[in-house]
Amino acid sequence: MVDMATGGRTLSIEQIEQRVQEQTRARRKRDRRAELIYPVLTGVSLLVFWEVATRVFGVPVYLFPPPSVVLQATIANWDLLLRESWITSVEILAGYAVSIIVGIPLAFAIFRWPVFSKSIYPLLISSQAMPKVAVAPLFVIWFGFGLVPKVLIAFLIAFFPIVINTVMGLAAIEREKIYLAQSMGLSSFDTFRLIRLPNALPSIFAGLKISITLAVVGAVVGEFVGGDGGLGYQLMVANGSMNTPLLFAGLVALTVLGVFFFWIVEVVERLCMPHQEKISPPTV
C-alpha cells in the first residue's frame, strides 16, 4: 500500500481515490441543480419584469399582452392548441426523420468518396443559400396543401447541420488511432465501426440537436405558406384577427415543442454515450 501525507495525515491511495470520487459526485449534483435552478430563476425574473412593465406603462393588450393574459388565452384555447400542436409535431418529426435518413448516409458518402464530395458539396451549399420561403410555394404547387410540402421544407432546412457535423466528426480523429487499428489487423469496416464512428458520435449528435430545432422552423414555414392546420397556421389566423394573446400562446406552444424534442434528442445522446461527460460552460 502506498501512503501519502496530506495535511499532517497519511492517506492511502484508496482513500484518495474515494475522496476524489465523492468530490466528483458532489460537483455533478451541483451542476445538475444549477442547470435547473438558474434557467428557472431567469425565466421567472423575465416574466415578472414583463408583467410589471406592461402594467406600469399601460401597454395595450393587442400590442404586447402581459404573461397573465397570455396564460389565460392558453387555458381558454387549450384544446385548439393541443390539436394544432399534434399536427405540427407530425410535420416536425417526419421532416426530421427524412433529414436523418438522407443526411447521415449522404455524409458517409461525402467522407468516403472525395470525387462525390467535390461534386455534391457545392449543391449542398446552394440549397442552404436559397431562401426556403421562396421555394415553399413551389412545393405547394407540386404537392398540394397536404403533409408533403411541410415535410419537405422541414427537411430542406434541417438536414444540412446533420451532414456537415457528421462529416466533421468522421474526419476529426487522431491518426494514431487509425495506425493502431491497422497494426491490430482490423479491416476498414471494423475500423470504421469500432473507432471512427464512436469517435464521431458527439459531433453527429450536435448536428442532430441543431437539426431538430430547425425542423420546427421548417414546419412552421410550411404552414405559413400552404397550411390549413397546425400551430403556424393558427399564428396566421390569430395575427389576421389581431388576437395577440392567442398569437403569444401559439408561440409558447411552439417553444415548448422545440424544447421537448431537443430534450428527447439529448436523452438519446446520453443513452448512446453514457460515459461522455457533458461539457459545461466555464464558470468565473
CATH number of the domain residue 85 falls in:
1.10.3720.10
Residue 88 placed within a domain:
yes
Q: Are 182 and 122 in the same domain? A: yes
Residue 133 placed within a domain:
yes
Q: Are 211 and 140 in the same domain? A: yes
Q: Are 43 and 167 in the same domain? A: no
Residue 109 placed within a domain:
yes
Does residue 82 have a pLDDT over 60?
A: yes
Q: Are 257 and 216 in the same domain? A: yes
Specify the pLDDT at position 144. 80
Residue 282 placed within a domain:
no
Q: Are 168 and 120 in the same domain? A: yes
Q: Are 111 and 198 in the same domain? A: yes
Closest CA to 85 of 236, 267, 239, 233: 233
Residue 61 placed within a domain:
no
Specify the pLDDT at position 2. 45
Does residue 10 have a pLDDT over 70?
A: no
Intra-chain end-to-end CA distance of the chain, in Å: 39
Does residue 284 have a pLDDT over 60?
A: no
Residue 247 cell numbers, joined: 398569437
Render pLDDT for 111-159 as a digit per residue (tens, 0 to 9). 888 888 888 888 888 877 777 777 888 888 888 888 888 999 999 999 9
Is the Cβ–Cβ distance between 75 and 240 less than 8 Å? no
Residue 240 cell numbers, joined: 389576421
Which of the given ranges, 27-36, 87-96, 227-236, has the highest pLDDT on average? 87-96
| Weakest-pLDDT range from 78-82, 180-184, 246-250, 279-283 | 279-283
Comparison of pLDDT for 59 and 102, the residue scoring more: 102
Is the Cβ–Cβ distance between 199 and 177 less than 8 Å? yes
> In which domain, by residue range, is 116 found?
66-272
Is the Cβ–Cβ distance between 66 and 54 less than 8 Å? yes
Task: Work out whether the CA dihedral 90, 248, 156, 137 comes out positive or negative.
Answer: positive
In whole angstroms, give the CA distance from residue 171 to residue 189: 15
Q: Are 121 and 195 in the same domain? A: yes
Which of the given ranges, 4-8, 209-213, 280-284, has the highest pLDDT on average? 209-213
Residue 225 cell numbers, joined: 405558406
Q: Are 149 and 210 in the same domain? A: yes
Q: Which residue among 34, 54, 74 closes a domain?
A: 54
Which residue in the block uniquely carries the three cell numbers 464530395?
117
Comparison of pLDDT for 97 and 141, the residue scoring more: 97
Specify the pLDDT at position 25. 73
Is the Cβ–Cβ distance between 95 and 155 less than 8 Å? yes
Q: Are 94 and 230 in the same domain? A: yes
Does residue 245 have a pLDDT over 70?
A: yes
Q: Are 14 and 151 in the same domain? A: no
The single-letter DSSP state of residue 196 is: I
The tally of domains found in the chain comes to 2
User: Which distant-in-sequence residues (6+ apart) come within 8 Å of 230 by Cβ?
Assistant: 84, 87, 88, 91, 150, 219, 220, 223
Q: Are 246 and 126 in the same domain? A: yes
Comparison of pLDDT for 130 and 278, the residue scoring more: 130
Residue 195 placed within a domain:
yes
Residue 252 cell numbers, joined: 409558447
Residue 284 placed within a domain:
no
Q: Are 84 and 183 in the same domain? A: yes
Residue 204 cell numbers, joined: 453527429
Residue 279 placed within a domain:
no
